Every structure is written in C-alpha cells, then in structure tokens.
Structure 1
C-alpha cells in the first residue's frame, strides 16, 4: 500500500512548496506536482500519471480538495476512478478520507462548496474588471508569456508544439499569440 501525494497550483508564479512539505510530512512515498488550472482535467498530466499508477490499497493524498479539482463532477469522477482501482482518497485539510461512508458524503459537500467558491471568485473578478474599466484604470492581466519570444521562435522555423515546450505554455496559446501578432482571428 503506497501513499501517493498530488500537489497543484494554478499558475507558474505560484509556489508548491507548502503543499509538498505537508505531503512529505504525511509520509507520501511518491509526490507528483504540477502548475496548471484545476478548472478541468485538461493538461493535468501529473494527475493522469498518478491515476494510472494507483493500485489496490493505495492512497491518493491531497492537501485540500480544491487541489484535486474545482468542479464537483470532476472531483467525484476522480474519487470514483480511484475507488474502481481499489484505492482511497484522503484530503488533509479538513482531514477526510474515502475509507468510510461518511467521508464520501463530506467530500461531495466539499466538492460542491469548492465549485461554488470558484464561481464566486470569477464573479468578483469580473465585477472588479468592469469597475476598473469604468474608472479607466484597467490595464489587462499580467502577461505570463514572452510574446516576442514566441514570434521569434516561429521566425526561426520552430513549430507550435516545440514553441509551447520552450516557452512553457499550451500549443493553443502559441496559436493565439501568433494569430494576434499576424492580425488574424482564430
């Protein structure tokens, strides 16, 4: 029986260290981590690796439920997949496990709360952006990708997949940047 930790943050400028330290302290022999949005399972290759690796009796450990996912359906599907493999899911804060029936109920409620919280965050963000636009102070979000590097790599003959790997973004982002640079619409 292995304890496998999974840590996730949404953006590259966020820090994984606190989660990693908690998972190590809990005795996780293997810890996989990634910097990707939890809004869906798309692009979460480390999570997919963990799910492939799980064996009967293993335990998937996360520090908080929202590290596993922000959508109730996704979280419940992940828990179901773990159970189909005979594995358990444990959340450290608050401490809940799928080893018992009560854990299932609590995780379902926590998943719904995480999804609702995500909606509230997006709504507040949207309201704040609209107010900043009305006040004339909105400058847009912080650019995390060097757009000049993307276009220069393309000019050097690199393809979108290679550019995405070199810059650390998705291929779709590369396409968007290049289309924006070339004055096209996707």
Structure 2
C-alpha cells in the first residue's frame, strides 16, 4: 500500500496542506495521514506516529518534501529505521528519492546532510541579523500570535464560551486563552 503523510507547521497553512494532499494523491497514495503541527516538538506528531504504525511489509510511506517528515538528519534516520524495520520504504516526491533502492538510500543520506547544513547556515545568518538589528535598536521581536486575538478571546468569554472552545475557535492553546484573560 502507498501511504501518504502531509504536515504543515500551523493551522493557517491551509493551502500548503491541501497542496501536499493533492500531490500525495497524484503519487498514488491510497491513505493519507495529515496534521498541522510544528515539527520542533516531535512528541506532538500523532499522525506521523499513526502513519508509521500503519505501515506493513512492502508498503511505501510517501512525503512531498523531506522537511515535512524530519527536522534533522538524526530524526530522519530514526524514522527511516522504523520504516526499514517494517520492511517498508520511504519515497520523497520532490527529490525523486525512493529508499527501496540502494541508490535511493544513499541519496537520502547525502541530501539529508546537505539540507541540515543549509538550515544551520540559514539559522546562523538569522541570528546574526537579529543581533545586528538589536544593536541598532531596530529589533522589536514579533507580537505574540495569541495576543493578536485578545479581543476575540475576551468577546467569546463574555458570551459565556468556555476556554477550551475558545481555543479551538480562535486557533490558540487553552493556556494562551487563560494568559489573555489574566491581562
């Protein structure tokens, strides 16, 4: 069976998740697992866990891009070991990589290393830019996302809506709802 996995970092990225699903279906996926959660906290990626558990011998897990699956080379290897232990394969559409072949496995390792290197370089430049902006007094940081929705949260609370429901409707965490209400 060909199994797809789609992920975006935030709930706001509707077009991104829809595009991934479209590409996965075009790649022949019979079942697609999808989630909209940051890859930073891998413990929250329930759909990835379900997709990996769903795989059987001879199946292929398909993702559109490597960064939708793994955050680092180490994490990629951990996922790949799980897939390989089930005698399944991994296919990355954008890279044309299929780990059911020795060349595909080699290419995944090489390109995964390059991708991690590029990300580290980008983060280093970003840190340097932020440090320079701070020195120049130009860096203010971003307004917290939840705080932008404070009026909506307070209005819903005034209507008698509970914190959990407010969090769902507004797209923030329940803790953020309580933080807004403390202000």
TM-score scaled by length of structure 1: 0.78
Going by fraction, where is helix more abundant, 1 or 2? 2
* Equivalence for 1:130: 131
- Alpha-carbon distance between aligned partners in 2 of 1:129 and 1:4, rounded to the nearest angstrom: 41
Displacement of 1:68:
0.8
Residues 177 and 124 (structure 1 numbering): CA distance in 2 closer, same or farther, change over 3 Å?
A: farther
Name stretches of at least 5 consecutive residues in structure 2 with no aligned partner. Answer: none
User: Does residue 1:7 correspond to 2:13, yes or no?
Assistant: no
Gaps in structure 1 of 5+ consecutive residues? none
> How do 1:84-123 and structure 2 match up within 5 A?
84-123=85-124
Contact 1:11 1:36 in 2 (8 A): yes
Q: Does the 8 A contact of 1:147 with 1:177 survive in 2?
A: no
Q: 1:36 to 1:120 in 2, by over 3 A?
A: farther
For 1:115 and 1:133, how far apart are their aligned partners in 2?
A: 27
Cα offsets for 1:21-56 (capped at 9, x unmatched): 211111111112222222352211111110111111
Q: If the length of structure 2 is used for normalisation, what is the TM-score? A: 0.79
Deviation above 3 Å: which 4+ runs of structure 1?
Answer: 146-159, 161-171, 175-178, 180-183
- Root-mean-square deviation (CA, aligned residues, Å) is 2.8
Q: Deviations over 1:74-95 (max 9, x none)?
A: 1111011011112110011110
What residue is the counterpart of 2:60 in the other structure?
59
* CA distance, structure 2, for counterparts of residue 7 and residue 134 of structure 1: 40
